[in-house]
Amino acid sequence: MTTTTTTLLTGLCRPTTCATVHAVEAHRSSDELDGGPELALCGAVVSVADTPWTPTAPGACPACACTC
């Protein structure tokens, strides 16, 4: 039997947008992420950091915060 763990990680996008910190639902560990683009909960394309998502972080996406 295989168990999948879901974790919300921080995703970063270009500083030209209003919200630069997004939530990314990762179904694998952060060390398995290859640095390629990932899709945030709000639909933004971001690069994933290995830090947990914090909805109260400065620059946090309000749409991602509402989906958590």
Q: What is the pLDDT of residue 32?
A: 77
- Tell me what percent of the residues of the chain surpass a pLDDT of 90: 19
Q: What is the pLDDT of residue 1?
A: 55
| Total number of domains constituting the chain | 1
**Domain around 33:** 7-53
Q: Which residue has the higher pLDDT, 42 or 7?
A: 42
Q: What is the pLDDT of residue 41?
A: 92
In a domain, 2, yes or no: no
Instruction: Give the C-alpha separation, 4 to 1, whole Å.
Output: 10
Identify which of 9, 3, 5 has the alpha carbon closest to the alpha carbon of residue 39. 9
Q: How is 21-48 classified by DSSP, letter by letter?
A: EEEEEESS-GGG--S--EE-TTS-EEEE
In a domain, 20, yes or no: yes
In a domain, 48, yes or no: yes
Handedness of CA 15, 21, 24, 28 (dihedral sign): positive
Residue 61 has pLDDT above 70, yes or no: yes
In a domain, 66, yes or no: no
Chain centroid to CA 25: 6
